[in-house]
Chain A
Amino acid sequence: VPKAKRPRGPYDTDEAPTPYEDATTYNNFYEFGLDKGDPAENAHTLKPRPWTVVIDGEVARPQRVDLDTMQSWFPLEDRVYRMRCVEAWSMVIPWLGFPLAGLLRRVEPTSKAKYVAFTTLKDPAQMPGQRAHTLDWPYVEGLRLDEALHPLTMLAVGMYGKVLPNQNGAPLRLVVPWKYGFKGIKSIVRISLTEKEPPTTWNLANGREYGFFANVNPEVAHPRWSQATERRIGELRRRPTLPFNGYADQVASLYTGMDLRKYY
């Protein structure tokens, strides 16, 4: 259902969104297979409702919360973000969700909380790709607390004005638009605040190629390909990749004084 044009928000890009068909049939979600067409084909086995999320660790108010309840706490926002995959392709996706910061403040992080760890559902019956040992299941990801509290960081429950399709990480996924797509953990069942840097799946699988930070950086090549350019899905020619995926004005200050070649 096409929605009425809304005013562009402070975090929106005015670039043309990627066709819905492409954004929902071409992505990585190894829980449903290794090919980029596999998630769309296989994710029907995932049951996104009812869905419970555990929030625990270094918080004053740890809790298990039903997703519908969690969603009712926050007004849903549309955000049109660029999405840059570490494989050097990119999309523009209108997400529907709420800032992660709101949720974190609600559960009151303690003074020890320095990081946020996320966990995907582990259930081979719903996620047949988990029967193969391609990665250590469940998928885990993490952010530094200041990254998690940044207003750009959101939890999405929908895209293109619709409920999030299973293959795109239903019913709840992370969106961090200045980082490579693999940071955007899907089908989240647990959010833990921690004192120490949490392990992250791709870093465990291949630390030389995938760092904890994974900020989009055209100057730090992946060992097997350059990150200087990218192919926007739907375009023939490559375009230059922008530092922090074009969000440098908003987020570069988070990394002042850090060697981004070392902390890639």
Chain B
Amino acid sequence: MASPPLPWLKPAFLVGGLSPLALMLLDFARGSLGANPIERVLNQTGMLALIVLVASLACTPLKLVTGWTWPPRVRKLLGLLGFGYALLHFLVYVGLDQGLRVGALLEDITKRPFITVGFLALVLLVPLAVTSTQGMVRRLGFPRWQRLHRLAYVAVSLGVVHFVWRVKQDVTEPLVYGGVLALLFALRLAEAVRKRRARAALSAT
């Protein structure tokens, strides 16, 4: 079934996805980011990265469950937006929070598992962002491209671990993200099993 073209779909998601950043910049300009603005920006960009990346992973399962065809059309946009927030989160940490002190940075990345997993999550997202174009899908071939992009689940899982280890005492909030992620993964897994069974049934006849 052909879906309607929905020309406003991607612009709407782009504007919606960037509006928290615009609000943050506005708050920054007005000096209303609280007593510790760097910490605030660091926390908010991290949260946004996680939310938007989970949303990008929800696109395909949402289509499987509802039959809607529009979610996959914003998947790439959300993935890139989430990567952008993750990168901004990292740059705020390196530039504003740590003041570009390379020694302190290397110590953090190598000695503190909480930072290590966050950094690893970002690194894993890089090849996905680089290969997000149609040209790269063609160059890699779809099956290989698809295998590569399963890394998104690994990256976002590491992001959840990073969040769990960040929290001082109450891990309810990060575990909610972990739960949603597990649900999405289960839906993808169920779909893969269903497809394999269908193929097996087809070849048996």
Contacts and interface: CB of A to CB of B under 8 A. Distances in A.
B104 to A, nearest CB: 6
Chain A CB within 10 A, most for which of B112, B115, B169:
B169
A134 B35 CA distance: 24
B179 interface: no
Contacts of A21: 35
Contacts of A206: 168-169
B5 interface: no
Contact of A134 (B99, B104, B166, B170): B170
A190 interface: no
A70 interface: no
Interface residues of A, number: 27
Contacts, number: 52
Given A205-B169, A223-B112, A236 B96 contact: yes
Contacts of A224: 112, 114-115, 165-166
Contacts of A225: 108, 112
Interface of A: 21-22, 25-26, 30, 34, 36-37, 89, 132, 134-135, 205-206, 221, 223-226, 228-229, 231, 233-234, 236-238
A22 B35 contact: yes
A25 B34 contact: yes
Interface residues of B, number: 22
Interface of B: 34-36, 38-39, 96-99, 101, 104, 107-108, 111-112, 114-115, 165-166, 168-170
Q: What are the 3 closest A-B residue pairs judged by CB atoms, nearest first?
A: A26-B35, A22-B35, A224-B114
B170 A132 contact: yes
Nearest to B114: A224
A36 B99 CA distance: 23
A89 B169 contact: no
Nearest to A223: B112
B169 A238 contact: no
B165 A236 contact: no
A258 to B, nearest CB: 24
Which secondary structure characterizes the binding site on chain B? Answer: helix
Contacts of A234: 35
B35 A229 contact: no
Given A237-B99, A238-B99, A231 B38 contact: yes
B39 A89 contact: yes
Contacts of B98: 238
Given A224-B114, A224-B165, A233 B99 contact: no
Given A22-B35, A25-B35, A34 B170 contact: yes
B107 A236 contact: no
B169 A226 contact: no
A30 B35 CA distance: 18
A224 B99 CA distance: 18
B39 A226 contact: no
Contacts of B35: 21-22, 25-26, 36, 233-234
Contacts of B101: 238
B131 to A, nearest CB: 33
A132 B114 CA distance: 25
Contacts of B104: 226, 228-229
A30 B169 contact: yes
B36 A26 contact: yes
B93 to A, nearest CB: 11
